[in-house]
Copies of this chain bind each other. A is one copy, B any other.
Amino acid sequence: MAARRAGIADVAARAGVSVGTASKALNGRGSLREETRARVRAAAQELEFAPSTVARSLLTGRTFTVGIITTDSYGRFSIPIMRGAEDALGLGEMLAFLCDSRDDPIREQHHLRRLLERRVDGVIVAGRRTDARQPVGANLPVPVVYALAPSAGELDISVTSDERGAARLAVDHLVRTGRRRIAHITGPHSHSSSRERAAGATQALAAHGLELVGEPWFGSWSEAWGRFAVSQLLRTHPDVDGVFCGADVIARGATDALREAGASLPMQVGVVGVDNWGVVAEAARPPLTTVDLGLQEIGRRAGELLLEAIDGTPAPGIHIVPGHLVVRES
């Protein structure tokens, strides 16, 4: 601590040149004698000179920072998205401010305002559901990219997951491994993810000339629901041989209930989840085959699209990132 910070003026003085020259030397601009350049660089090194980005920003109008607003308290969904975004943004030498709106529109507006005051070059808004959301503002001075929860605004840039595709990947795997009597247990009907996955499952089965065993079981994103739904399912359809679950937690509950009902997994019944959430999928017995929605990829794509928009070539619309199947033992 306490180390006084050297400015470019200090570096120039020590190297015996003017600040202009020092600037050129350090930025490789202009034409200077190699010896001068070296002398300046040496001085900078000795003084541990770190150029002030804030002064530079004032001049160029760019800060090389972006804001990421999550509605999600850095939870299950935001985290991989943030990671992906940081990957992409880091490549553009950008640093990200993190704001947690906790699903509160007031907080969101507050954060947005603070980010704009800080002159971020762009903003990523990450949601935790795939339901469309209202735009964070109109006529903003910087580009915004929506991740996971797409914006309802026509001309906005959004990146989201392929819900129907995810269902197809799951169902195709079950069919490919010989399952014919496939049921679907999923989350709340109020979530568009649940509805889309159910619709996707029905579609995919139809493509194989099959139908879902019973209606989709809408419930909650929990292990307990997975267990309960399976116990009920076995009463009406004891011959079920495949279960596509709308989430890994549901799938884990399902495997437990099936195992405890005496079914041998995966021989008698195949189970596929969605999420590829390590702590759940890997610890299940057997470890879960599941669809990874590519959240990190969504974040990466969002970062890339934001960089492009900042560079003046925005790509409006909803960009869909495909998921992929992770085959384990279930």
A interface residues (Cβ-Cβ under 8 A, vs B):
1-5, 50-55, 57-58, 63, 65, 68, 73-75, 79, 82-83, 86, 95-100, 113-119, 139-143, 222-224, 249, 252-253, 277, 279-280, 283, 314
Q: Tell me if A96 and B98 are in contact (CB < 8 A).
A: yes
The residues of B that contact A98 with a CB separation of less than 8 Å are 68, 82, 86, 96-98
Main secondary structure of the interface of A (DSSP, over half): mixed
Set B82, B97, B113, B119: member contacting A96, Cβ < 8 A: B97
The residues of B that contact A253 with a CB separation of less than 8 Å are 283
Q: Tell me if B118 and A53 are in contact (CB < 8 A).
A: yes
The residues of B that contact A5 with a CB separation of less than 8 Å are 141
Give chain B nearest CB distance to A264 CB in angstroms: 15
The residues of B that contact A143 with a CB separation of less than 8 Å are 1
Distance of A242 Cα from B271 Cα, bound (Å): 34
Of A73, A118, A119, A223, which is in contact with the most chain B CB atoms at under 10 Å from its CB? A118
Q: Tell me if A95 and B99 are in contact (CB < 8 A).
A: yes
Set B63, B79, B86, B117: member contacting A50, Cβ < 8 A: B117
Set B57, B75, B142: member contacting A54, Cβ < 8 A: B57
Nearest B residue to A93 via CB reads B114
Q: Tell me if B100 and A86 are in contact (CB < 8 A).
A: yes
Give chain B nearest CB distance to A262 CB in angstroms: 14
Of A4, A53, A54, A99, which is in contact with the most chain B CB atoms at under 10 Å from its CB? A54
Known: A1-B142, A140-B1. A116 touches B222 (CB 8 A): no
